[in-house]
Amino acid sequence: MMQAKLIPYLEFESAKEALAYYQDVFGATNVYRVSPTADEAEQYGLEPDVDLDQLTMRGGFQLLGLDVQCADALMGQPTSSTLISLMLVVDEDDNDSVKELLALYQRLIKSDVKVINPFADQTQGGKMGQIVDAYGITWILREAPSMSMNPNVED
The domain limits of the chain are 9-72, 85-149
User: What is the architecture of the domain spanning 9-72?
Assistant: Roll (3.10)
Classified as helix, coil or strand, 6 is: coil
- Taking alpha carbons only, the member of 139, 94, 145, 90 closest to residue 123 is 145
**pLDDT (tens place) for every residue of the chain, 155 residues total:** 889 999 999 999 999 999 999 999 999 999 999 999 999 989 988 888 999 999 999 999 999 999 999 999 987 888 888 899 999 999 999 999 999 999 999 999 999 899 999 999 999 889 999 999 999 999 999 999 886 665 554 54
State the pTM of this model.
Answer: 0.88
- ∠ CA(23), CA(34), CA(46), 5° rounding? 115
Contact 27, 64 (CB under 8 A): no
Same fold, 9-72 and 85-149: yes
Contact 58, 71 (CB under 8 A): yes
Q: Under CATH, what is the fold of the domain 85-149?
A: 2,3-Dihydroxybiphenyl 1,2-Dioxygenase; domain 1 (3.10.180)
